[in-house]
Amino acid sequence: MSQTPQAKGLWLPFLILAGTCLLFSLVLPFFPVDETRYLSVAWEMKVHDSFIVPIQNALPYSHKPPLLFWLINLDWLLFGVNEGTLRFIPLIFSLFNVCLVYRIALQLWEDRKLALNAAVILGSTFAYLLWSSIIMFDVLLSFWVLIAVSALIRAGKEGRFGPFALAGVAIGGGILTKGPVVLVYILPVALFAFWWRPRGEVTPRWYAWTFLSLLIGIAVVLVWLIPAALTGGEVYRKAILWGQTVNRMANSFAHKRPLWWYFQWVPVLLAPWIFFAPFWRGCRRLTLDAGTKLVLTWIAGGFVVFSLLSGKQVHYLIPLIPACSLLMAKAVSCCEESGRRFQLPIAAFYLLVGAAIMTLTFLKQGRALHSFDLGELRIAAGGLLLLGAALSFPKPRDTSAALKLVAASTLPFVALVVVGCHTFSGRYDIHAVSAAVLKKQQEGYQVLHQGKYHGQYHFMGRLQQPLLELEGSDEIRRYAQTHEKVALVTYPREDQAVPPDEAFFRQPFRSKQVVLWNSRGILQNLEGAKAAVSTAQGE
């Protein structure tokens, strides 16, 4: 990448992303059930020496392809089994994504200032900051999407097959990351090239080569899929990829939400930039050049498809945030006014949030804040008030300076959120209960889990034996009555009494508690446990 003065400005999004990741690594636990589940799958792959077929609770895990699990095991190969370096895996891809957004902006508009603004916007968007530091698939998936989009732009300019081949490799990487869902982000850009490319330049050969790039992507996946299908067994073979990705998204009624569901999340996903006035002023002046058309195709295609699918989750839209950062930077470039405090709406946002939290801590909240420490919340609220006030005074020389000022404010904002949520996040730390499960297993106990077990304790406790999933009270009672050394994990309400002589361990967990019952506790509390088939453990 060219070492122009503008490119050197990438240090700002790098600093914000790295600072957030370091903060998360030092302070926050890995959150159940998703982060702990994916870490446990990687851990069990290592324990069972099964690096082709992912493993969960001693059985093949078909819900996700293996690329993230391979990266986690690579981290452990380089640094030993640890927790401290894991959050830097998504961070590395997040930094690559910032560079790729910068590159794509140059490909589309050849404007280095615009490209730098796009990179800064991406690296300081709250949702992107969060997902860049947690063990999930979406930032890694974004990397492959950006590679493919960049390749398609090159393909349009150069008219060679090479960029299509690179897009095919990216498709394969995306499928190995999260399954065929990667096509939802890439295919609209490829199929609607007749709109964003100059008229007459998109010929049947474009679509033939697009088809070949799909075949290349499939070929990349087959390198893993064939040995996985041969070694994972018939059930696993039927389930992988199509059975647990496309079918799950299209047919899942567990997450069924209305068509408009994603619209309500747009302000959250694009904060704080949704409050940045130059973006809205620039939108009125946007012209539909080729680059803008491509970005709109990218955003609209993914948004419409995901809105039509019954399975909806907020993080499905994370790979669209880079495209939104490009569109925002393009709009901001159309608003080159000076002498305006464009950061004021965002300063007001910080002030309002800080004032609201501070006020709430002095009111009767019932149980609304019972999981938080009021002192921590007041410190965070006071910090937000100071941050909002500090952001109000500077008068940036132009919109780019205002943009950098707002971006720089996001790192202290994240730090204050972490401070305010410190006690609350501690309720998600499952190290202690995982250690208790490990201790019982080492003492020869069979540890039961009422209802679906998502593998949340395996890596946190470094477990090497599975937990036995039992759903019904009768089934659990029969097992406890016929086995001498039994322990049971359940998630009763927080106000349910747990006599010390009936449990090996208990701790607050999310809005409830997690209890490791002994045999007496199982028989005494089985009905209560039945009523508490926990929503806390579900997805």
**Would you state the pLDDT for residue 538?**
44
Parallel, antiparallel, or unpaired for β 59-60 and 468-470?
unpaired
Query: pLDDT band for position 350 (50/70/90)?
Result: very high
The model's confidence at residue 494, banded by pLDDT at 50, 70 and 90, is confident
Q: What is the pLDDT, as a whole number, of residue 1?
A: 44
Residue, of 340 and 421, whose pLDDT is higher: 421
Average pLDDT, the chain: 91
Shared domain for 262 and 350, answered yes or no, is no
Average pLDDT over residues 343-362: 95
What's residue 397's pLDDT? 87
Number of domains observed in the structure of the chain? 3
Among candidate residues 150, 145, 155, 149, the one with its CA nearest the CA of residue 202: 155
Q: What is the pLDDT of residue 106?
A: 96
Q: What 3-state DSSP class applies to 35?
A: helix
Q: Are residues 249 and 352 in the same domain?
A: no
Same structural domain, 328 and 221: yes
Is 70 exceeded by the pLDDT of residue 56?
Answer: yes
Do 65 and 179 lie in one domain? The reply is: yes
Asked if residue 3 belongs to a domain, the reply is no
Question: Of 315, 334, 353, which residue sits at a domain end?
Answer: 334
User: Is residue 10 assigned to a domain?
Assistant: no
Specify the higher pLDDT residue, 468 or 533.
468
Q: What is the pLDDT of residues 3-42, one digit of tens each?
A: 455 567 899 999 999 999 999 999 999 999 999 999 999 9
Clarify whether residues 204 and 121 are in a common domain: yes
Q: Are residues 217 and 310 in the same domain?
A: yes
* 378 class by beta-carbon count within 10 Å (0-12 exposed, 13-18 middle, 19+ buried): middle
In a domain, 25, yes or no: no
* Higher-pLDDT residue of 383, 313: 383
207, 299: one domain: yes
β-sheet bridge partners, residue 490: 515
CATH assignment of the domain containing 494 = 3.40.190
Q: What is the pTM of this model?
A: 0.92
Tell me if 153 is assigned to some domain: yes
Whether 14 maps to a domain, the answer reads no
pLDDT value of position 291: 95
- Expressed as residue numbers, the domain containing 210 is 41-334
Compute CA distances 107 → 10, 102, 151, whole Å: 17, 9, 10
- Same domain, yes or no: 96 and 161: yes
- pLDDT at position 242, please? 61
Predicted local distance difference test score (pLDDT) of residue 248: 58
Examine residue 478 and state whether it is found in any structural domain, yes or no.
Answer: yes
**Where is the domain boundary, 381, 409, 426?**
426
Q: What is the pLDDT of residue 239?
A: 83
Same domain? For 302 and 348 the reply is: no
Q: Is residue 83 part of a domain?
A: yes
What is residue 332's predicted lDDT score, i.e. its pLDDT? 93
* Whole-number pLDDT of residue 534: 47
Q: Is a pLDDT exceeding 50 seen at residue 390?
A: yes
Q: Are 67 and 140 in contact (CB under 8 A)?
A: yes
- From residue 200, give the alpha-carbon distance in Å to each of 188, 193, 410: 19, 11, 45
Final residue before a domain boundary, out of 393, 426, 459: 426
* 52-66, 83-97, 180-194, 327-341: range with lowest mean pLDDT: 327-341
pLDDT of residue 25: 93
What's the pLDDT at 243? 64
pLDDT over 70 (residue 539): no
- Domain identity same for 404 and 436: no
5 within a domain of the structure (yes/no): no
Same-domain check for residues 416 and 478:
no
- Model confidence at 149, pLDDT cuts 50, 70, 90, reads very high
Looking at residue 481, its pLDDT comes to 87
State whether 107 and 168 are in the same domain: yes
Cα gap 453→442, rounded to integer Å: 20
